[in-house]
Chain A
C-alpha cells in the first residue's frame, strides 16, 4: 500500500516536472526552422547533415545548462546576467535578445503569410488578422488554452519522418554525410550554416526553458528528473530537423528545386501526402508560426523586464506592467509590419532571421558560460569539463562562421 502510493506520487511528480523541455524544443521547429532545414536539404542535399550531428549534443547540453541555472538560482537568465554583470552588459545582451526575437517574430509572420498564400489568401489580409489574433491571445491570457491545439497541429511536421522513408533516400549517402563533414566554400553555404546554428540553438529557447523551470519552482533535486525531459525534447526536435533535411535532400535537391517559396518547400511531403502535400505543409506551418509568434515576443518581454526589474506577467494590467505589455505589443506589430513591406521574399526573411539568431547566439552563450562557471552563483553545480568543452566549442564555431562569412563577403569570395 505504502509503496504503491509513493510510486504513484512519484509518477505524478515526474509528469508534473516533465513538459517544459518538450514544449520549448517543439516550438523551436517554427517557420524559421522549417524553412532553414528545407533550404539546407534542397540546396546542398545531405551536405549539412554532419552539422546536425554536432549541434544535437551541443543543443542538449546548452538546454540542460539553462535549466540547471534556473533550478539552482530560482532566477531567469536575464536576471542572472544583470546581477552578475551590471547594467551595461545587460543592456547589450537584451539588445541582442530583442533583435534576435524580433527577427524571428518577423519570420513567424512570414510563415503565416506563406501558409495562407498556399490557401490563396493575400498576406495583406492574413498578416494583420494574425497579428491581432496573436496579440489578443497573449493579452487575454487565452494563449495557454490554444497552445495545446497549436502544438498538436504543428506536430504534423513529424510527417517528414515518414516522408523521408517513403522517398527512399540513399541511406548509405545519408550515413556518410552525417559522419564526414563537408563544406562548400560559398557565402551562401556559410550563411546557411550560421542560420542552421541559429535555428537549432536559438537564443530565446535558452531564456524560455530557464524561465519555465523557474516558474514551475523546480528545485535542483527535481531537476535530475526534469533535465531528462529537457534533453529528450531537444533530441526529438533535432531528429525531426534531420529528417526534414533528409527528405528535402532526397526529394527536392535532385530535382534542382531550391525551396525559394513555400510551395516548392511543401513538395517535399509529396511522397507521403501526394497532392495533399501543400495542404499538410500549410497547416503545420500556420500552426507552428502562430504558436511561436505568441511565444517569442512574450519571451523577450519577460526577459527584458526581469533584467531591469520591471513588473511582468500576463495577469498584470497595462498600468501595473507598462513595459512588459509595451514590449510584446511593439514586437508583434513591428514584426507584422515588416512582413507587409512591399516586395519581400517570405522564405528569404525566414532564412535571414535565423542567420541573425546564429550571429547573436555566441555572445549570449558567453554570458551563460561565465555565469554557470561562477561558484558564487552556482555553488557546486558549476559545469563539468565535458559541458565546458562542448559549449565553448559551439561558441568558437559560431563566431568563426560569422567571421568567415564577413571576410568572404568583404573579399568577394564565393
Chain B
C-alpha cells in the first residue's frame, strides 16, 4: 500500500545506485477500472522535469525510494499520452462532487496498491486521517495512537477509483459515478487484491459487473476470510452458479465456511455430480490433506501405452486442475505409481506405462495435517501430492497452489498467535479466549477493583476508595499498551540487526515512560481537581499513577533483554502471560503506592 503524498519527493535511484532526482508525479492510464501506473515523473538535479515509462524502467518501489532498472545514461524519456492523468497535478487536492452536485470532500491523498509488480490506483482518500497525514505523518500516528487509547480506530475513508469519473478530462473537479468500465482486462488475482480493499457494498457493486466465470476466478484468489462473506452476499442462484465453476476443493472450502442453511441451499441448487463431490470433500476434516485436496485426478492403468495415455488426457482431463502428474492405479483406484508429464512427452508413443512408471511415490494420508503436506511439497519441490486412505486407495491430489495457500495461512496464524491479536481466526478453546486482550483487561480490572475495595478498609473514606478505583482501568490500559510494545521488541529481537544496544533503548524508553507518566499524571490530576477531591487524595493517587506507569515502562524495556539468551534467539514468552504480568505489575505498583503513601500524606 502506498500513498501519493508519501511518495512525492522521495528519491529516484538508478541501477548503479545513484540518485538522479526526486519523484514529482505519477501518471495512470484512465481506461481501466483500477488504473495501472504508467509513468513516473521526476525532477532532476536542476529542477528539470523528466518522465519515464513505469513498465520499462521501474525495478522496484518501497516507502523510501524508487529504484530503476537501468543506468541514467540508458534511460529513454517519454511524454504524456492522451489517456494519461497525472495524480498530483490533476487529482490531488481536487474537489469531489457526487451525482447530485453535492460537495463531498477534497482528494486529500491517493492510495495505490501493488499487485504482481504493478502499481494500481485504488482510490482517493478523503477522510480526516489523510488530512492529518498530509500535514505530517507524525500527527497522523499521534492521532491514531490517541484514538487507540480510547478504544477507537482512526479509520481511512477511501472512495474507490471505480466510483470516480473524469468527465471529458475536465479536471477542475472529480465527479463520482456508479458506472464502471468492464473489469475483464484484469487478472483474477489483481481483481481479488482490489476486492479485498473494498467495503462490502463496493465489492457487491463490482461483482455486478463480472460474469460468473470471472467472478469464480476472482473469488478463488481471495483470502479465505473474504470468500465466504462474498458468496454469502451474492444471491443464492448466482452464488451456486459461481461455485459450480470453481475447482471442487475451493468450492468445498467456501461452503464449509458458510452457515449451514445457506450451504444446504447452495448445494441443492447445484448439479448432482458437483454437489456430491463437494459433499464428499466436506466430509474430510478441515486443515487436513483431505480438506484441501481436489478429487479431480488423472489416472491411467499400467496396461496402457504412452499413446493411449496422451489420448485419454486430451479426452478427459481438459478441466483438471493439474496434469503434471498422471497417477497409475489398479483395481479399486489403488495407487501403484506416478508418471510425470515430462516422462510422457519424452517417451515413444508405443512404450508401455509399466516401463516408465515410478513406483516410489510421495503420498499424503487423508488425515495428515495440511501444514505437513505443504512442507513435504515445498521440501521436495512437488507440483502435486496424491492423497490416499489407509488401504492405499487414491482419493485425490493436493496441488501446489493449495499448498502455498496453506503456508501463507499458517504463517499469518503464527504471527497472530505471537502478537495476541487474534482477529483473523475464531478462537475456540478456553485458553485462546483467555489470551484475548480484552478479556485480560476485564479480568484484571475486576481483580483491581476488588483489590481497591480491600485497600479501602485502610483508607479513611469511601470517597477516596472510589477515586482509587476510577483510575484502575487507565493503569491497566497503559500496562497493556506497554506489554504490546515490549512484545514487539521481543519479536524484532529475533533479528540481531534490528536490536539497538540496551543502553540506548533504555534511555529512549525511560524518556517515553517519563513522558507517558507525565501525561497520565496530568490527566489524573485534572480529573481529580474537577471532581474536587481532597488535596491529599489528589497527591496520593496522582503519584501512584505516575509511578505505576514509569515502573511498567522500564520493566517493558528490560523484559525483552532478560528473556533473550546469548545466541540472540528469543525465549518464547506467551503473549497472554506477558500482558497479564504487566497488568499485574502496574496494578501492584499502583495499589501499593497508594497503600504506602496514604499513611504518610494522609488521604
CA distance in complex: A83, B135 (Å)? 15
Residues of B within 8 A of A308 (CB): 105-106, 131
B102 engages A311 (CB within 8 Å): yes
Residues of A within 8 A of B102 (CB): 311, 320
Residues of A within 8 A of B598 (CB): none
How distant is A319 from chain B, measured CB to nearest CB, in Å? 12
A309 engages B104 (CB within 8 Å): yes
A87 engages B131 (CB within 8 Å): yes
B134 engages A309 (CB within 8 Å): no
Residues of B within 8 A of A320 (CB): 102
CA distance in complex: A312, B172 (Å)? 18
Q: Given that A82-B93, A83-B93, A309-B95 are contacting pairs, would A88 and B134 also be in contact in the complex, using a CB cutoff of 8 Å?
A: yes
Task: Kindly state whether residue B108 has any CB partner on chain A within 8 Å.
Answer: yes
Task: Kindly state whether residue B96 has any CB partner on chain A within 8 Å.
Answer: yes
Task: Kindly state whether residue A254 has any CB partner on chain B within 8 Å.
Answer: no
Q: Given that A86-B134, A308-B131 are contacting pairs, would A79 and B95 also be in contact in the complex, using a CB cutoff of 8 Å?
A: yes
Task: Kindly state whether residue B280 has any CB partner on chain A within 8 Å.
Answer: no
Task: Kindly state whether residue A363 has any CB partner on chain B within 8 Å.
Answer: no
Task: Kindly state whether residue A381 has any CB partner on chain B within 8 Å.
Answer: no
Task: Kindly state whether residue A91 has any CB partner on chain B within 8 Å.
Answer: yes
Chain B residue at minimum C-beta to C-beta distance from A74: B172
Query: Chain A: how many interface residues by the 8 Å CB criterion?
Result: 17
A87 engages B95 (CB within 8 Å): no
Residues of chain B in range 97-128 having any CB-CB distance to chain A below 8 Å: 102-108, 126
How distant is B214 from chain A, measured CB to nearest CB, in Å? 35
Task: Kindly state whether residue B459 has any CB partner on chain A within 8 Å.
Answer: no
CA distance in complex: A88, B108 (Å)? 11
Residues of A within 8 A of B96 (CB): 309
CA distance in complex: A297, B134 (Å)? 26
Residues of chain A in range 292-351 having any CB-CB distance to chain B below 8 Å: 305, 307-312, 320
B103 engages A312 (CB within 8 Å): yes
CA distance in complex: A87, B96 (Å)? 15
Chain B residue at minimum C-beta to C-beta distance from A376: B89
Task: Kindly state whether residue B393 has any CB partner on chain A within 8 Å.
Answer: no
Q: Given that A83-B93, A87-B93 are contacting pairs, would A309 and B135 also be in contact in the complex, using a CB cutoff of 8 Å?
A: no
How distant is B509 from chain A, measured CB to nearest CB, in Å? 31
Task: Kindly state whether residue B94 has any CB partner on chain A within 8 Å.
Answer: yes
Query: Chain B: how many interface residues by the 8 Å CB criterion?
Result: 19
CA distance in complex: A309, B126 (Å)? 9
Task: Kindly state whether residue B87 has any CB partner on chain A within 8 Å.
Answer: no
Of B93, B103, B126, the residue contacting A86 (CB under 8 A) is B93
Which of A74, A87, A305, A320 gathers most chain B CB within 10 Å?
A87
Residues of B within 8 A of A305 (CB): 103
CA distance in complex: A272, B108 (Å)? 57
A70-97, CB under 8 A of B: which get 1 and which 0? 0000110001001100111001000000
Residues of A within 8 A of B105 (CB): 308-310
CA distance in complex: A79, B5 (Å)? 19
Task: Kindly state whether residue B92 has any CB partner on chain A within 8 Å.
Answer: yes
A86 engages B92 (CB within 8 Å): yes
CA distance in complex: A87, B104 (Å)? 17
Residues of A within 8 A of B131 (CB): 87, 91, 308
How distant is A5 from chain B, measured CB to nearest CB, in Å? 34
How distant is B133 from chain A, measured CB to nearest CB, in Å? 9
Chain A residue at minimum C-beta to C-beta distance from B98: A311
Residues of chain B in range 390-423 having any CB-CB distance to chain A below 8 Å: none
Residues of chain B in range 1-41 having any CB-CB distance to chain A below 8 Å: 5
A87 engages B94 (CB within 8 Å): no
B106 engages A82 (CB within 8 Å): yes
How distant is B114 from chain A, measured CB to nearest CB, in Å? 24
How distant is B338 from chain A, measured CB to nearest CB, in Å? 62
Residues of B within 8 A of A311 (CB): 102-104
Chain A residue at minimum C-beta to C-beta distance from B108: A87
Residues of B within 8 A of A307 (CB): 106
CA distance in complex: A308, B92 (Å)? 12
CA distance in complex: A87, B134 (Å)? 6
How distant is B3 from chain A, measured CB to nearest CB, in Å? 12
Residues of A within 8 A of B93 (CB): 82-83, 86-87
CA distance in complex: A320, B134 (Å)? 25
CA distance in complex: A307, B96 (Å)? 12
CA distance in complex: A120, B112 (Å)? 65
Residues of A within 8 A of B172 (CB): 74-75
How distant is B88 from chain A, measured CB to nearest CB, in Å? 9
A88 engages B95 (CB within 8 Å): no
Of B106, B126, B135, the residue contacting A91 (CB under 8 A) is B135
How distant is A10 from chain B, measured CB to nearest CB, in Å? 30
Of B5, B103, B134, the residue contacting A310 (CB under 8 A) is B103
Residues of B within 8 A of A86 (CB): 92-93, 134
Residues of B within 8 A of A310 (CB): 103, 105
Chain A residue at minimum C-beta to C-beta distance from B130: A87
CA distance in complex: A310, B102 (Å)? 9
B94 engages A83 (CB within 8 Å): yes
CA distance in complex: A74, B170 (Å)? 13
CA distance in complex: A204, B102 (Å)? 25
B135 engages A87 (CB within 8 Å): yes
CA distance in complex: A308, B94 (Å)? 9
Q: A87-B5, A305-B103, A309-B126 are in contact. List 6 more A-B contacts (CB 8 A).
A: A82-B93, A91-B131, A308-B105, A308-B131, A310-B105, A311-B103
Between A and B, 19 residue pairs with Cβ closer than 8 Å are A74-B172, A75-B172, A82-B106, A86-B93, A87-B5, A87-B108, A87-B135, A88-B135, A88-B136, A91-B131, A305-B103, A309-B103, A309-B105, A309-B106, A310-B103, A310-B105, A311-B102, A311-B104, A320-B102
The 10 A-B pairs with the shortest beta carbon distances in the complex, nearest first, are A309-B106, A87-B134, A309-B105, A311-B103, A83-B93, A309-B95, A82-B93, A88-B135, A91-B135, A308-B106
